[in-house]
Copies of this chain bind each other. A is one copy, B any other.
Amino acid sequence: MDLSGLLAGFADFTWANALMLVIGGALIYLAIAKEYEPVLLLPIGFGCILANLGMSAYDEESFLRVIYEAGIETELLPLLIFIGVGAMIDFRPLLAQPRMALLGAAGQFGIFGTLLLASALGFPLNEAASIGVIGAIDGPTAIFVTTKLAPHLLGPIAVAAYSYMSLIPIIQPPIMRLMTTRRERLIRMDYAPRPVSRLTVVAFPIVVTVIVSLIAPSAAPLIAALMLGNILREALVVERLSKAAQNEIINIATLFLGLSIGATMTAERFLYDPVTGIQWQTLMVLGLGLLAFVVDTVAGLLFGKLMAFATGGKVNPLIGACGISAFPMAGRLSAKMALEEDPDNFILMHAMGANTAGQLASVIAGGVLLAIVTGMV
């Protein structure tokens, strides 16, 4: 009698798989003990463990493959998550001070800086771009772009995107202190927002969707999903749909997204390929991803200083650091630092304006990048 079915488990299990189990466990540890993006790192870690026990996204008949094909290859899961995110974002701070939008654009340099370095290091264009998009500091955007350009890198890129996002409070402050003078951090910003009418908050998501879809069609699905969620939120008359977006839809999508991403982290793709040997690229992706975060922050702060100079010291450069997206902790972090310097200096609303702008700019940048690279590759 053929018992290969029984021995299969041990037969295919390599030392590399064993190491991946440890890595998966480490991700779960970070999720639970350190609370690094638990809702994503926990499913990713568990999916990574399953991927190395014969249930990867590449195994025939693996249930995770079914979910991967239905949710990732169709791009549905990141979009569903964005519908929920959109239903949770309040754009009033940005609408009240539109110029904050500029800081959002500045916060995207990390994407391209990383792209440059990655290609200099010899990564082909599609991989370099996918690595660069970690600099969008936005999970769904990174996953959306990577799925189209270099799906085999989904694992390391998603892990980098989400774990570094949790490290913002550790990564940013030293850079902020290093690049700004105390004098600059003490700058107060007067907050006299224009009142925002209901018509504006409802029209905004539609306008953004149209503009962005025309300028960067590749970003259209992402921005459309984000803005759909936002209009469900602001319409007030479809509370049920808004609640569904913020609960059922995003919860289920997140669980399956995390599992599917983890299911791509097989030993041979993440760690050691019997043919090509150790997968150094994984380490390089993690390293370059960290760099992307730094460059984003630096560029944002420089632009903040520029605005401070241009406005004759009416802008606190710290808010430059929230253009990177990573909404909303980047915004809260800048406001916090200003408060540490001067307990009466409240720049939270400005920071949130720049931060939401960063969210938009990240999606746009990701779409632009996707469009250009698709045209070149």
A11 → chain B, closest Cβ, in Å? 10
Q: How far is the CA of A57 from the CA of B10 in the complex (A)?
A: 37
Residues of the B chain whose Cβ atoms lie less than 8 Å from the Cβ of A251: 240-241, 243-244, 248
Residues of the B chain whose Cβ atoms lie less than 8 Å from the Cβ of A238: 31, 38-39, 42
Tell yes or no: A349 within 8 A of B by CB.
Answer: no
Q: Mark each residue of chain A from 39 to 54: 1 if its CB lies under 8 Å from any CB of chain B, else 0.
A: 1001100100110011
Q: How far is the CA of A225 from the CA of B54 in the complex (A)?
A: 14
Knowing A6-B372, A8-B217, A372-B3 are in contact, say whether A248-B245 is a contact too (CB < 8 A). Answer: no
Would you call B214 and A241 a contact (CB within 8 A)? no
Residues of the B chain whose Cβ atoms lie less than 8 Å from the Cβ of A43: 228, 241
Tell yes or no: A167 within 8 A of B by CB.
Answer: no
Tell yes or no: A371 within 8 A of B by CB.
Answer: yes
A164 → chain B, closest Cβ, in Å? 19
Tell yes or no: A254 within 8 A of B by CB.
Answer: yes
Would you call B231 and A46 a contact (CB within 8 A)? yes
Q: Mark each residue of chain A from 52 to 74: 1 if its CB lies under 8 Å from any CB of chain B, else 0.
A: 01110000001100110000001
Q: Which residue of B lies closest to A50 (CB)?
A: B224
Knowing A238-B42, A252-B244 are in contact, say whether A217-B5 is a contact too (CB < 8 A). Answer: yes
Q: Which residue of B lies closest to A62 (CB)?
A: B221
Would you call A235 and B10 a contact (CB within 8 A)? no
A226 → chain B, closest Cβ, in Å? 12
Would you call A76 and B63 a contact (CB within 8 A)? yes
Knowing A210-B53, A220-B54 are in contact, say whether A371-B42 is a contact too (CB < 8 A). Answer: no
Tell yes or no: A129 within 8 A of B by CB.
Answer: no
A73 → chain B, closest Cβ, in Å? 10
Tell yes or no: A170 within 8 A of B by CB.
Answer: no
Q: How far is the CA of A241 from the CA of B10 in the complex (A)?
A: 32
Q: Which residue of B lies closest to A47 (CB)?
A: B228
Q: List 13 A-B contacts (CB under 8 A).
A: A2-B376, A3-B372, A5-B371, A9-B220, A32-B235, A38-B238, A46-B231, A53-B209, A53-B210, A55-B220, A63-B225, A66-B74, A241-B254
Lowest 8 CB-CB distances: which A-B pairs, in order?
Answer: A5-B371, A244-B251, A53-B213, A2-B375, A38-B237, A9-B217, A9-B214, A5-B375
Query: Apart from A32-B236, A50-B224, what 13 extra A-B contacts exist at CB < 8 Å?
Result: A2-B376, A4-B375, A5-B370, A6-B375, A9-B220, A13-B214, A31-B235, A38-B237, A42-B231, A46-B228, A241-B251, A244-B247, A248-B248
